Amino acid sequence: PEKVRVYQQAGIKVYFGGILFEAFVIRNQFSDYIQLLKEYAIDYIEVSDGSISIPHEEKCGYIEKLSQYGTVLSEVGSKDKDREHITPPYKWIQLMKAELEAGASYIVAEARETGTVGLYRDSGEVREGLVQEILTKVPAEKIIWEAPQKDQQLYFLSLIGPNANLGNINPSEVIALESMRVGLRGDSFHLFLK
């Protein structure tokens, strides 16, 4: 409670990770989750289904309900752990659009902490065709791209621009990322020479 209060007093938005949402849902305690949000004055809310299976229509129902309490970030792509069942681009787009229509303010494009699932191949290489296709149907400003690896961050900054929404950044790497955003690193200096 103290840590949350300190962040909030500093004007930093706080939200519980999606796994906490899933823990309440799997136990049929959704109303208790809403009470927890109110108790801690949490107005950013992550909805995910990376650890439990939630039918998509039901997930959209949770998004719609929770959007009454704050800004909803909804995660897409978390099922791509099984390389034999990689979600095709049209499905990513379909899910993202439905979740935005349900009331999500942002879609978190999944990569996990390793940056080797979802948006990325096992090697960490960006699934560029997937990203390009998503961007033909979903506005870049509505997507938070999980990009824990430097090459992944540079890819999105080059593609979208210095204000690309990036997530899953290690706190110790925030300054390096911000330096990359403004071209004060050798790997991004060229982005500002145009």
- The three-state (H, E, C) secondary structure of 154-170, written as one string: HHHHHHHCCCCCEECCC
Give me the pLDDT at residue 30, please: 98
For 168-191, b where at least 16 C-beta lie within 10 A, e where not — what string? beeeeeeeebeebbebebeebeeb
The whole-number mean pLDDT for each consecutive block of 10 residues of the chain, a chain of 194 residues, reads: 94 94 98 98 95 95 98 84 74 97 97 88 94 98 97 97 96 95 93 80
Give me the pLDDT at residue 11, please: 95
Give me the pLDDT at residue 81, please: 56
Give me the pLDDT at residue 10, please: 97
Give me the pLDDT at residue 114, please: 85
Give me the pLDDT at residue 85, please: 66
Regarding pTM above 0.85, the answer is: yes
Give me the pLDDT at residue 84, please: 61
HEC states along the chain? Answer: CHHHHHHHHCCCCCCCCHHHHHHHHHCCCHHHHHHHHHHCCCCEEEECCCCCCCCHHHHHHHHHHHCCCCEEEEEECCCCCCHHHCCCHHHHHHHHHHHHHHCCCEEEECCCCCCCCCCECCCCCECHHHHHHHHHHCCHHHEEEECCCHHHHHHHHHHHCCCCCEECCCHHHHHHHHHHHCCCCCCCHHHHCC
Give me the pLDDT at residue 83, please: 57
Residue 35 in tokens? 């009470």
